[in-house]
C-alpha cells in the first residue's frame, strides 16, 4: 500500500574477493524505501551503487545485516523463492538494455510472462499491449532491437520491467548509454509511470544533471550512504 515500508536494509555489509584482496562494496548500509517512492542512488563508479541494487533485487545476499522486502527477509528464501519474487514483484532495467536481439519488441516484453503459468495467452497479450502503450511503442511491436534507437530500446526495457505489474522497479544506470536529451525523456517517462501507477522506482546514476528531477536522492561513497 502507498506509503508503507516496501524495502529495508539494516546494517548491510558486502565484500567481494578480487584476486587475493577482499574488497568491501557495502559497509553497513541502512536504507528504507516506502511504496510509491521515486529514489535515485547517486555515486561515482565503484561507490557501491550496483551492489546496493543487487541486494534490493535479491540478486545477491549480504555477508551480514538484513534485507527485508515487504517485511520478509531475503535470507529466509531459497533460490526458487527468490527467482519467483524477482519475476513477480521486481522489474529490472539495465543500462545496456539487455534485449534479446532475435526477438521483436512484443516478444521481448512478453518474455517475463512466459514463466507465469497462471496467465493464458490472451492475458499475456493484454499485459504486453498495456506496457507497450504506456511507453509509446505500440507501432514498433514487430521491430527488432537493432531497428530501434537507444531511447526506444530503453523504452522496451521499461515496458518489459512493467509487464509483470511489479511492486518495485530497479534501474541500474538506465540513462548511461543515452544522450542528455534522451536521458531526460527516459527520466520523464519513469516519473510519469511512478505518478500514475505508484510503482516504486529505485535507480542508480552518476549523472548529477538528473538530480534536479528527483525528489528522493541517496548519495553513496565508498560503500557508505553519506
Q: Locate cell 521481448: which residue?
A: 108
Structurally, the chain folds into a number of domains equal to 1
Q: Is the pLDDT of residue 49 over 80?
A: yes
Whether 114 maps to a domain, the answer reads yes
| Ramachandran category for residue 160: left, alpha or beta (phi over 0 → left; psi -120 to 50 → alpha) | alpha
| Pairing mode of beta strands 200-205, 168-172 | parallel
Cell of 81: 523463492
Determine the average pLDDT of the residues in 42-46: 88
User: What is the model's pLDDT at position 98?
Assistant: 93
Of 39, 38, 43, nearest in space to 26 by CA: 43
Tell me the CATH number at 181: 3.40.50.300
Whether 23 maps to a domain, the answer reads no
Whether 18 maps to a domain, the answer reads no
pLDDT, tens digit (0-9, with 9 covering 90-100), for 79-110? 999 988 898 899 999 888 999 999 999 999 99
Whether 101 maps to a domain, the answer reads yes
Q: 211, 41 in Cβ contact below 8 A? A: no
CA distance 31 to 39: 11
Determine the average pLDDT of the residues in 69-87: 89
User: What is the model's pLDDT at position 215?
Assistant: 79
3-state per-residue secondary structure call for the chain: CCCCEEEEEEEEEEEEEECCEEEEEEEEEEEEEECCCEEEEECCCCCCHHHHHHHHCCCCCCCEEEEEECCEEHHHCCHHHHHHHHHHHEEEEECCCCCCCCCCHHHHHHHHHHHCCCCCHHHHHHHHHHHHHHCCCHHHCCCCHHHCCHHHHHHHHHHHHHCCCCCEEEEECCCCCCCHHHHHHHHHHHHHHHHHHCCEEEEEECCHHHHHHCCEEEEEECCEEC
Whether 171 maps to a domain, the answer reads yes
56 falls in which pLDDT band (50, 70, 90)?
very high
Determine the average pLDDT of the residues in 122-142: 96
Whether 9 maps to a domain, the answer reads no
Whether 107 maps to a domain, the answer reads yes
Whether 102 maps to a domain, the answer reads yes
What's the domain range around 218? 35-62+78-225
Of 48, 46, 37, nearest in space to 217 by CA: 37
Q: Is the pLDDT of residue 50 over 80?
A: yes
Amino acid at each position: 500500500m502507498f506509503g508503507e515500508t516496501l524495502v529495508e536494509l539494516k546494517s548491510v555489509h558486502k565484500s567481494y574477493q578480487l584476486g587475493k584482496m577482499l574488497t568491501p562494496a557495502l559497509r553497513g548500509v541502512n536504507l528504507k524505501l516506502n511504496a510509491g517512492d521515486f529514489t535515485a542512488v547517486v555515486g561515482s563508479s565503484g561507490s557501491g551503487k550496483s551492489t546496493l541494487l543487487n541486494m534490493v533485487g535479491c540478486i545477491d545476499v549480504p555477508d551480514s545485516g538484513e534485507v527485508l522486502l515487504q517485511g520478509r527477509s531475503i535470507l529466509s528464501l531459497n533460490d526458487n523463492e527468490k527467482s519467483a519474487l524477482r519475476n513477480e514483484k521486481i522489474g529490472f532495467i539495465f543500462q545496456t538494455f539487455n534485449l534479446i536481439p532475435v526477438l521483436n519488441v512484443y516478444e521481448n516484453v512478453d518474455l517475463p510472462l512466459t514463466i507465469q503459468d497462471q496467465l493464458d495467452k490472451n492475458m499475456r497479450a493484454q499485459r504486453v499491449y498495456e506496457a507497450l502503450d504506456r511507453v509509446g511503442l505500440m507501432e514498433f511491436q514487430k521491430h527488432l532491437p537493432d531497428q530501434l534507437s537507444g531511447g526506444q530500446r530503453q523504452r522496451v526495457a521499461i515496458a518489459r520491467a512493467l509487464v509483470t505489474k511489479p511492486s518495485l522497479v530497479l534501474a541500474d544506470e538506465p540513462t548511461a548509454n543515452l544522450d542528455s536529451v534522451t536521458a531526460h525523456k527516459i527520466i520523464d517517462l519513469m516519473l510519469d509511470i511512478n505518478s500514475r501507477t505508484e510503482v516504486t522506482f529505485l535507480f542508480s546514476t552518476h549523472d548529477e544533471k538528473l538530480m534536479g528531477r528527483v525528489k528522493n536522492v541517496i548519495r553513496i561513497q565508498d560503500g557508505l550512504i553519506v
